[in-house]
Amino acid sequence: MAITDKIYLKNHRQIASQLDRSVPKSIFSGATLDLLFQGEGIEKLDEATRERVLDFAADFLDCDCRNNPYCGHPERKFVRYLLELREQGLGPEATVDVMTDDYMVYAYPGDVLSFLDDSVRTLESVERLADVDGADGVERRARKLRRTLEG
């Protein structure tokens, strides 16, 4: 399962009660995206929640693809956001705190940690392949990013 399948709405119960219907916990589930961003739901939310939802939409759902938000870009942008937090030196728990402050979503620190470990392993295999291939530029870039992620 991708890390984006493990990003949850912080006040999911409250949101469900404000919308007066059930809402999946996962922010990237199609039903949640539909409900919060495509439908009439958003004005029923209290102001603090609505602001965070709008920030999330502006930062991750802003592409012009015809099948937005199902084009894969929102998930990719969120992954980039996580990697940027790591590059700023944040560990898994601090990352979760920041995403909650920014967008009222959360993840389990252990899931963020596995995601970062997987990213490091992916970069290691990129480095190995680039080395075999003699692609020095790619190898250097992958190594640099990996070291940043490893902290």
Collect contacts of 115-122 with beta carbons under 8 A, ≥24 apart.
115/3, 115/82, 116/86, 116/92, 116/149, 119/83, 119/149, 120/146, 120/149, 120/150
**Cα 72 to Cα 75: distance, rounded to the nearest angstrom:** 6
Kindly determine how many residues on this chain lie close enough to bind Zn ion according to the rule CB under 5 A: 4
Cβ closest to Zn ion, residue 14 vs residue 68: 68
* Nearest distance, CB of residue 69 and Zn ion, angstroms: 8
Cβ closest to Zn ion, residue 63 vs residue 135: 63
Stretch that binds Zn ion, among 35-43, 57-65, 97-105, 110-118 (CB under 5 A): 57-65
Site for Zn ion in 61-80 (CB under 5 A): 63, 65, 71, 73
Cβ closest to Zn ion, residue 57 vs residue 71: 71
What sign does the dihedral 143-148-149-150 (CA atoms) show? Answer: positive
Single-letter code of the amino acid located at 4: T
Cβ closest to Zn ion, residue 42 vs residue 71: 71
Residue 44 touching Zn ion (CB under 5 A): no
* Nearest distance, CB of residue 33 and Zn ion, angstroms: 12
DSSP code of 106? E
- The helix/strand/coil state of 117 is helix
Q: Which residues bind Zn ion (CB under 5 A)?
A: 63, 65, 71, 73
